[in-house]
Structure formats: structure tokens, C-alpha cells
Structure 1
Amino acid sequence: MDFVKNYFKYFETYEILLFLFIFLLFIFGSVIFIDIKSNSKLINYAYSFQKELILKVKDKIESNSVKFQREAENLINIIEDNRTVDNDGILIFKDKKIVVDNSDIYFDDLYSFLSKIDDFYLIKIIKRTPYVVYIFKKSNYLVIKYQEIKEIVDEVVPKNFYFVLIKDNKTYFLSDSLYGFKFEDKKYYTASYENKDYIVSSDLLFDNFKAYVLSNKTDYFRIMNKLERVSLINVFIGIIFIIMLILIRYYIGRFYYEREKFEHLFELEHEKFESIVEAIGEGVVLIDKNYNVLWANNYIRNFVDLNEGDKCFSAICGNENVCEKCNLNDVIKEKKVKTYRYKDFIKGKTGHYDVILSPLLDSQGEVVAVVELIRDLTDLVNLQIQVQESENYLRNILENIPDAIITFDADYKILTTNIQAQKLFCENKLVDDDIRNYINDNHLFELLKSNNLVEHFDTYIQNNEKNIPVRISALEIINENDKHSLMIIRDMSKIRELEAQLIEREKLSALGLLAGGVAHEINNPLVGILNFAQLLDKRLPEGSYEKRLVKTIIEASKDTKNIVSNLLLFARHKEGEYSNFDIKESIDFALKILGSTIKKKNLNVNVDILCDSVVYGNRGKVHQVIINLISNAIDALKSGGCIDIKFECIDDKKIFTVRDNGIGIPDEVKSKIFDPFFTTKEVGKGTGLGLAIVKSIVEEHGWSIKVKSEKNSYTEFKIIMT
């Protein structure tokens, strides 16, 4: 009821009565002039409707044929896969032989009859029943499907209609109730049968089959009368006309009512707008084209004495002329917002301000005024200054750190570097380059990718064609949802020099002791032996047994002299000389140096070289590694023990192995054997630097060393050379 009252409050009483009178007049006229379909129009409609049913049957057969083509393809695939076909109504020939027969219908010469037909379907009368025969041919296959036309007709034709086929003056009824009906060779006609009038439509279906559709004329009249009496078009037109009149009157009245309402709302919104402008905490000034102030909020009025009509540059800024950066004319001309940054913009108040000029347009798109928004940025600018100072402080720290610091993204593009990084790589500009161009060690980046953290990774970098040893620590960090990496690179050159000096001292100490022993124990007797043997060789007759013995003495003396010479060569070998050499020579050299100890303990030494034994490295240092490993193996063995030395290639790696069957290494000290000055030997028999030097030399070459041991069973050292 409230809705009706609100709706009709804009109408007068006489207007409501007038609308009711016009509405009743339209209803009365509509009842008199109802348009009922004539008998001829109804029959014509029936003819066309029944012909459409014949066409729908024809379309249905064609649609079923298309579906059968796809189905037949699948059936052939099923047969090729030796699976069972269980589809009803299917007959399949392969090489003129029946391979599938799921149909109860068959006639003689079926294959020869259908194989000559080029169509995809046809109508065949079998046992007085019309069937649609669908045909599919592919290579040596012929697939056939039967479907009664009655099934298709039942899907398409309504129950009150009769469907009949005629070919060669033979009639095929699909219903039992019209056997006595006489059909004429006409497209459209009416006929009587058993005191009932029928409307008949006919059309050609397929293969000279003519289709007839019949329906009872009385049923058509009954249905159409119901439809026509319900659809009173004129009544609806009248109702629509009345509704339009009511709506027009309603909106005219509502216009005046809404205008008063909106005027009141505008006053409220204006007050609300002023409240919002006052509450935003920023200065808002309305200025005309001549720099005159039209309006300003209290934020500005609290700082300056401002009246309407004052010049903005004088009243707000305290200037005699237009502000230096202000370009009010460009804002009006271009109709675009412009922003300026000022310092001490408001007179009598210090600080930083953003001044935003925005054009105010009318409905025609013309500028009528300019809105000036004054935003105080003093706190923000001071904060930016503090951030900048803090950033500079941190930058100074990073620049003065002795280690190189580099950050790079997920694509390995360098983002930032410090000065030490530029010095280390001798590059003034590293940013945007690929870090892998400077650190060529894929293993490092694989570790970082898998573990997100790498600590104390030793490798080499190229600097002016010089290998520089470095120690790298890297960490993956998240920066605004992007994955970046921080890398700290320490130049290990000085540390490596100190280690080399320590190694050199150990080597020189060992060689000094050995050389002293060689000088006293070998050199003096060796000269006498060699001289006297050569004198005897000259005096003894050729071919005598004694002469052969003397020659053996001379050869043994010369071998001993070569051992001393090799030892001195090893002691004098220069640091850092890398070259390709045969590691078998290093093994032979070590076995000659340690040969006397091996013979004294009666040890068995087996050497297996299973692949190309040429390696790239420092020959002298590799000599030292092999001597230390074999020497440790000798110390761990008792008389009659065995040492196995093997060099093999696995994938792209070369592996050098020294294995003994001695006392082994206890588990509690296994983790300490590479520590400097750690030894399990008696006092005076070891310095504890042997394996530490071995590990240092191996890592210096970029190789790795592994140890396996079982107490009282064996010890095995493997050097993996990449």
C-alpha cells in the first residue's frame, strides 16, 4: 500500500479517472475486433507445417549418417585392435567377408549390392519394412548399419500425425490405422476417410521414395482456436498505451519533486565537501585566470590573512610578482595538471612544499578556474635527507671493506659492486655484466642454487691472464619478491703465499735432512765405487763374467746418481709453474726416492695406470703430494705389507689412489688428519704438516681429496682431478 501511495501521489483524481475510462474503451474495442484465423489460413499453415516435418525427417537421416561415419571409423579401429564390437545393428565386411554381424537382417548379394553404391545411406525395404541403410567404406572394410525409418519418425513427428512412404505404387504404412486410405499424387490436398477429414502434405524423401504426412483437421482447429483466443493483440496494445500515458505523467510530476529534493541535497553535499576539504590537512585555494583568489580553506587562512580577490602570489607567498616556477597560463592552455616543488612557499613559514595546479572545467570543457593544492612535505623531505645520509654512511662502509662485494639477480646479471670488486677484477664497470664471465666455476653457482648459501668456497678468478685464488661466501636474498644474491669475495693471494712459504720451509727442511744423509751416506762412497768400477772395467777382458759384474756396478751407481740429481731438481722446482706432464713420472720418482725404505720393510708395491696419465699442474708440488702419501703408507705398514697405487679415468675425471693394508686411521682422529701440526707419530718422527700440505696443494689445483679407512684393515686416499 505504501508503494501505491508513493507512486500515485503525483496524480490528480480526474487524471486517474481519465486513464481508467481510456483503458475500458480499449478493452471493449479489442473484444469486438478479435482476429480469428480463417479456415483457409489454417489449412495453408497445416500444409507448410507438415512439409517441414518431412524435411526434419530427411535432416535427421543425414545427421545420423554423419554420426555413423565417425562411429564406423572407431569400429574399424576396435577390430584392428582385436577387440569385440558389441554395437547393435552393425554388419562389417573385411576383404568381402563378414567379421561382425550384430544385425538380424541379411539378404543375398548384400555385399555386391552395397559395394557399388557411392552414397553414404539409402532406403531399403526388407520384409515389407522400410529401413535406412548407412554405408561406410574404407580400404578393405565395408561397415553397414540398419535403422528402421519408424524410429526416426517417432523422434521427429508428433504423435497426432501419420507418416507414410510410397515407391513404385507400393505403400508402406508406419501405422496400422490407415490401411484403406487412398493417396493422390499431389503435394497438398484434403481427403476424407472413415468420416474424418485429413490434411495431407507430401514431398520427395530419397531414392524415389515419396513421403506423406497426414493429420486430423479437427485437431488443428481445436489447437489453433485456443492459441488465437488467448493472444489478444489489441488488448495488449491498449494496456501498453495506458501504461505509457501513466509513466509520462508520473515522470513529469517526479521531475519537479526531484528538483526540489536535489537542490536540498546539493546544499548538504556542499557543506560535506567543505568539511572534507577542511579535514584533508592540506591547503586548497581556488584561483581564477588572473591569479585572483576565489576561495581558500582554513588550512591556508590559519597561516596568512587571505581575502577573496587578493592576488595569490602576494597574499600566500608574499611576492610582488608571479612566483618564479608558477605557470598558471600553461595549465589553463593545456588543461593539464602541473606540479612544482617549492621551499618556504607560505610566507612566514619555513619548509618544503609541493604545489599542484589542476584546471577546473565546465560542461563545455573550458577552464573556469584553477585549483591549487598546497602539500607540506617538510617531514618527508627531512626523512629523505636522513635516509640519504644513512645510505651514504653504509656505502662508505661497503666501499672501504677490503673484500669485494657483488649483488646479482636470478639471471646472474650484476646489480651493484663496491670499489674493491672493481679492483679485484680490474674492471671499472661491472654492473649489468654476467657474473659468470668473471667467476668461471659452475659448481659454485650450482651449490648456491640448491642450498641458497655457500660458505668459504675456494676457487680461482682470471685477472690480466693471472690466476688469483679467492674464497667466496654467497647468500640468496629476497628483494621485493625478486631473488637476488649477495657474494663476498676475499683475495687469498697473500694467504696462499704464506701457506706456500710454510710448505717451502717444510720441503726444504725435509730435503735438507735428506740431502745431508745423501751427501754423507751416498755421494762419498758412490764416487769411489764408480771410479774403481770404471778402472776395473778397463782392465778386465771383454765378455768375461767379472766384466759383466763390474758393468752392473757401474749402472747401479749411475742410477743412484740420477736419484740424487732428481732429488735436487725437486728441491729447486719453482713455485707456480703449471704444465702438462705424465703423472707416471711422478710415481716413478717417488718410488725411487723411497725405494730403500720399501726394500727395507720388504713391501709389495703395485702400480696400475688404467688410462691416459697426462695431467695439468705443478710438477714439483704433485711430486711432493705423491711422496707424502706413499711415505705415510710406508709408515703405516709392517714388514711384508702391500701398497696399491692406481690411476684411472671415470667420466670426465681422473682419479689417483694410494691404498695400503696397514693399521688404518682411528675414527676419533679421522676428521683432524688434515689439520696443520696434527700427527699420531712419535715425537721427532713427524711434523704434522704432511697431509695439511697435501690438501693445500690439491685444493690449489682445484682438485679434491677423500680418505677412507678402517682400523687394522686399510687406508685409502683418493685425489679427484677435474
Structure 2
Amino acid sequence: MMYNNLFKNIKPFEAILFLFIFVSFLLTVGIFVDNKSNEKLLDFIHNLQKKQLEQIEENIDSYTNNIYAFFDNLVLAEAGSDTKYPLIVYNDEGVIYDNTTGKQNYPKPEIGLSNELVLKFSKELSSGNIYYYLRKDGRIYSSYVSIQSLISDSSPAYADVVIFDGVETLYSENYKEFFGKLFRLDEDKYHFLEEGGQKFLFSSTEFRGVNIGIYGAMKNYFSGLSSQNNAFSMPGMVYGIILLLLLFLLKIFISRFAFEKEKFEKLFQLEHEKFKKIVEAIGEGVALIDNNYNLLFVNDYVKNRVNGETEGKCYSVLAGRNSPCEQCGMMDVALNGELKNVRFENFFSCSEGYFDIIWTPLFDEKGEAVAVVELIRDVTDAVNMQNALLKSEHYLKEIIENAPEPIVSFDENFNIKTFSNEALKVLKIEPDKVMKITDIVNDSTFYDKLVTDKFVDNMDLTIDSHGNKSLQVKTSVSKIEKESGYEYIAIFKDVTKIRQLEVKLIQSEKLSALGLLAGGVAHEINNPLVGILNFAQLLSKRFETGTYEKKLIDTITEAGEQTKEIVQNLLIFARQKSEQKDYFDINDSAEFALKILGSRIKYKNITAVNKITNSMRVYGNKGKIHQVFLNLLVNSIDAVDTGGYIEISSDEDEKGSFIKIYDNGKGISSKVMAKIFDPFFTTKKVGQGTGLGLFLSQAILHEHGWEFELDSVENKYTSVKIYPGIDYAN
């Protein structure tokens, strides 16, 4: 079927042309090559051999120049086994340096007194070397090179090289009998030499005192010569066959092209209609622009926005400008071959709005950008919606930032997104340092509730963050579910002052209850105590001084008096009002604390010493100062081991007079020291402390305007100094 279509498309003149070429080919095969043609061929081979000889001369000259430069720049002390060239150095006594593999004691060469480079060819066919000698600095420097290495790239595979002088052959790859005749031959002509029934074509040239010749068998240079007088032109026959085949293939190609052209034109038209329908159905603008900004094609979307005008420069037709737009990226796309996207406002001269312009290069078969496809997308609604959303987000952000309560929003990975100004102030957070909510809240229960509950209401938390030793807050958190995950809005309410007031209220209630209890106990003890003292005094009068009975009764009387004094102190403590202040001796508070805690001191076998010798009258609430001494002394008793030491003393320094309570207990670490005055902070076991002693003591002393200093070294001591201030009198 294919052959029928091919022959069907052959024209008559093409058939005649084919027959003419075929006959010409047959005539060419029958033509003989005359003697003149053979002579031209031999001249060509001779010229080829001369060029090969010139290349060999250039190779030897180049290597000779390199050797001379090597000898001229050589410093013998720097020479080593890694020298680029073989090197043998002679002096008057013989070889002094040899880096060749032979390592033989070569005889000193005879080169005369000349300082020029001497080149000699070896006279042994087996060695095939060129030797170089140079006299320098009283030495003779020698090197050599294989002749084969210099002629290998210049001598063809079908020819051999021979070097000879006027007497003998110096080098040959293959020895021939006719070498003895070479020195008599003229170098300006080619010569025929025979050996073993085979003809060789020989050419030579003179070089540096020797002759270099090149020869090759005639059959290796050309074939098809049956004799010197007649031969068929094989190249002509081959050329004819090739020409015939080319013409035949050209005819097939032309016929096939003509047949397929119509088919592809119809297919192209069909695909063009499909492409046009697809482009129109996109619903976005499409324009094809060449590298000179000329519009080649636009779809109906673009036509409707430019009032039907579709010819001219793109910036003129589309944007109504006299020059390309400043934001235009079309030329960058054409030059770099990369897609680019730019957003324009009011891109069309006849239409307002926001448009995304996307340029894509169109390449030819060489991979060069010949045009650019411009996609025009109307994003006005999306931009307006985005602007409204940004405005809404900005408005909500301002609401959060200016809210009167501390508000923090964060995502499900606990990354903080926004802070209210009140949060920065109340929580004392440094935004540059705090990146996660976990940097503020360290309570694991809080995060468990975030996972399980949708809303966390008024959860009590203690925050330890930047600049905050301890902050009591109530936290409410709302969980918001989004496509990207959960987000949380947390509201913190600072209840530290409320907690402190609650603590003071509880303590006040405790003190009030303790006062009532102390008053009741004092009255209950005081009544039988009066009877004990009265009867003891009556009994004392019945016995003589110094008797055993008298001593027992005096001991009872003394113990009763001490008990009476303790009861009186309890009554004073119970009846003390919080606002009542007066002058009193601060030593009374020290003695009161020692007596109240006397049993605990004796139980631990503690040595407790009061070294306050001078009266120090101060102005304040005696009951509250009693409480301070009780709290501090309790801490000292708990801190020291059995058999420890506690001392209460008075002294002066540059700040003024002070009372010091010292113990040799376990001291306070630097880590604990930072939280020692926090309410409810305690290092004691559960049930042994409330964590309010130092907190209340510091509050009472600050209320009085007294200074309070605490010094401690871990595992050594703790010292507390109380400066009553200037409002006291000795």
C-alpha cells in the first residue's frame, strides 16, 4: 500500500531525471584513470608525507626547547627523583647525579667546549633515543628522550619513519634492505622502493645534520590501482550510488511531506478550534504577546474590557499607557524563561479593580522564548474580602490589646499570638523572651484541662515568670476550633492582693481565736494558781529557813510566780488591739518568746541565750512585735539540730541600733532565698508549717516602718537583723 502511494506521487520529469542519473553513473564506472591522474595522486601522497615530516620536526624542536629551558633553569640542589625529565650530571671525575632507572656509571660525553645545547641521535637501532647535552657551571647536563614518543602522533599507522645520516641508519621501526640506498636519494622528490615484491613510496627531509624519511606501502595509501596504466574509479562509483540513494530518499520525503501537510493542516485547524474554546471557557483573560510587546492574540474576556481593540502594543491597548508598566515582568520572563506573578490595581484602562497578572514563556524548538502568555485574573472580590478581614482582625486585636483585663491568645502548640497591654503590665512579661504560654504557666493540670474541656472557668494558678516571684491569678480559657487547629483565649485575673487579704483575715481570725483562748486559759489557770501561791506562802511561815520543807515550799512558790508571769503575758497578748501602739522595751518581746517556746528549746537541748543587756524602748504594737519574735524564734528552733545554739543580741552599726536573732542551723540556699517571703511557701514537712511566718513578720515590720535584713549561708548559719528605726527612746 505504501509503495503504491509513493509511485503514485512520482512525476514524469522526476522519472526522466532518475534515468539520466543512473546512466551517468554507469558511464562513470567505465571511465579509466589515465597516467596523469595517477601522477596527481602520487603528488598528493608526497605532499602528505612532507606534512607528516614537518610535524615530526616541530615535535623534536618543541621538546628540544623544553629541555634547554629545563637545563637553563635547573639548580642541582633542587633536583630530585621527581624531576620531569631524565637527568644525568657529569663533572671532571664522572657522574655526580643520575635520576634514571639504569643508575650506570656513564662515561663523560665528548661535546667540545661549546656552551650551546648539543643534540645527538643514538647510533643503535634498538635504543632509538635522542640525547641532549649542555655545558653549564663546569658540569655537563645530559638528558634523553625516546624517538618513538616524539613521532607517535605524527606518523600514521600505515607508514614508518627512518632516520639516517650519510653513512648509516640511525633509527627505524622496521629494518628494510633498501635503507642502504637512502642517502643517495633526492629529498625534494618522492621515490619508489621495492622489497619482497612490494612497492613503497618514500619521502625525506634534512634536519639537524641527519635525514628523516617516511615510507609506506602503496596499497596502504590507496587501493583499486590494478596497474600504473589503467584503473577503475571506485570513488566515482561510490559517489554515484550515494547520489542515487539521496535523490530517491528526497523524493520519498517530498512525497510524504506533501501527503502529510494537508493532514496536519486539518488537524491543526481542529486543535486551534479546541484551544480557542478552552481559552474562552477559562473565565479569565488570556493574551499572547511577542518580545516587542505586540499583541498576537486576546480572548473575548480581554476584548470586552478594552472595547474590542486587539491590535497594538499591550501596554497601550490594555492599560492605555504610552510605555510599559513599571511593575511589568514580561521582559524578565522572556529573558529568564521563568514564570512571574504581579498584582495590579486598575490594570485595564476601562475597568477598575485588582488583577493578578501571570506571565508564562512560550518556547520554540530551540528552547528560546519567542512569546509570552499573559493570564489576567480578576481578584477584586478576594482582595476586598481580605482587606475587610484584615480590618476586622486589626479591630479585634485592638480590643484585646486595650482590654482592662490581662488577655493572652495562643494556638494548640502553645505559641503565643497576641497580648493585651494589661497582660504585659500585670504578668510582667517580656515579649522578646516569652514565646509560649508554657513560659508563663507551669501547671500541668492547666494543660490537661485545655485538652479535655472546651472552657476553663476561674482556675486558680500560681505564675512564676519573668520578674514575678509568685503571682496568684484566676484564669478562664475559651477553646476556639478552626480549620488549622485549636486556638485559645485566656483571661487572667490578678488575685494576689485578695489572697494576701484572705491570709491576713484568716490570720486575724486565728489571732482573735488565740486571744480568746489565751484569755480563757489564763483565767482558768489564774484562779487555782492564786490558791496555790496563797497556801504556799502560809506553809512557808511554818518552817524554819534552811530546812528541807522550807526549800520545797520556796520552789513551789517560785514555779507559781513564773507560771503567774506567763499567764499575765498571755492576758496581755490576748487583750492587745491591732491599732494600739505605745512605748515598750523590746527585750520584753524576746523574753516572752523564749518563755513561750521554752519547752521546745529544752526538748531539743538547744542553748538559747538572750544577750540584750541594755534597755531598748521602741514605739509600736507590742502584741504584733511579740508575734514577730515568736515566728523568728520558731524558725530558728526548727532549723538547728539537737544541741544547737540560738542567740538574741543587740548592737549598733552605720544604720543604727538593731536586734539580731542568730542560729547555727542548716541555713537557707540561694534557690529558697528567692521565695522565702512568699505566702504559703515552706520547706517544712506537711503539717509542720503554713509558710506564713516570715511573710507576716515582714508585713508587720514594714507596717511599723522597721527595717528587716536576713543573712544566711547554707549549712552554716542564719542571722536576722531588726532595725526599730528612730522612733524609740533609751
- Taking structure 2 as the reference length, the TM-score comes to 0.42
Structure number with bigger Rg? 2
